[in-house]
């Protein structure tokens, strides 16, 4: 009987910390692959939403001719419309990011924000594309419109 108690068990010992470490390493690798896929496919604006601003901070693209129209429609709502052009003054083809529209009040505080998706994602050298967007019932306190490209000076 004494020899049976001294005999080691034939089952291997399970180390739960080792399993958790392996799971954490695999999860980290999976997250890195996902970030790489987002950056590789240039998912428009998605990387910026996660705070991943890689590449050049400023684009040579310019936003021009952005008239604003504000009018009441028949159901009593107010329609706020903006239009304009994205201009590529450079000699290279450029990727067109999303356009961020910020409405500010008299104290320069942002009271309403939305994203305008451009009609195409690349712009040939020395060319332009039109954009337009409309929203209903924006805050009446909005006095100023600021347009920028998503990723430039965000947060």
- Thinking of the domain 62-149, which architecture would CATH place it in? Sandwich (2.60)
Sequence spans of domains, the chain:
12-49, 62-149
Per-residue pLDDT of the chain (155 residues; tens, 9 = 90+): 555 555 666 666 778 888 899 999 999 999 998 877 776 766 555 555 666 555 555 789 999 888 888 888 888 888 899 999 999 999 999 999 999 999 999 999 999 999 999 999 999 999 999 999 999 888 888 889 999 998 765 54
- Strands, E, within 5-155: which ranges? 62-64, 68-72, 78-88, 94-95, 99-104, 110-116, 122-123, 127-136, 144-149
Instruction: Look up tokens 């000699």; give the residue.
Output: 91
């Amino acid at each position: 009987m004494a020899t049976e108690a001294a005999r080691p068990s034939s089952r291997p010992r399970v180390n739960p910390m080792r399993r958790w470490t392996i799971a954490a390493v695999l999860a980290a690798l999976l997250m890195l692959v996902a970030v790489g896929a987002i950056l590789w496919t240039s998912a428009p604006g998605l990387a910026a939403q996660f705070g991943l601003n890689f590449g050049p901070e400023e684009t040579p693209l310019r936003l021009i001719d952005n008239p604003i129209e504000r009018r009441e429609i028949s159901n009593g709502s107010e329609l706020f419309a903006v239009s304009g052009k994205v201009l590529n003054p450079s000699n290279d083809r450029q990727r067109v990011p999303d356009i961020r529209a910020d409405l500010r009040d008299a104290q320069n505080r942002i009271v309403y924000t939305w994203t305008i998706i451009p009609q195409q994602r690349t712009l040939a050298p020395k060319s332009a594309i039109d954009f337009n967007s409309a929203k209903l019932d924006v805050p009446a306190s909005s006095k100023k419109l600021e347009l920028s490209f998503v990723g430039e000076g965000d947060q």
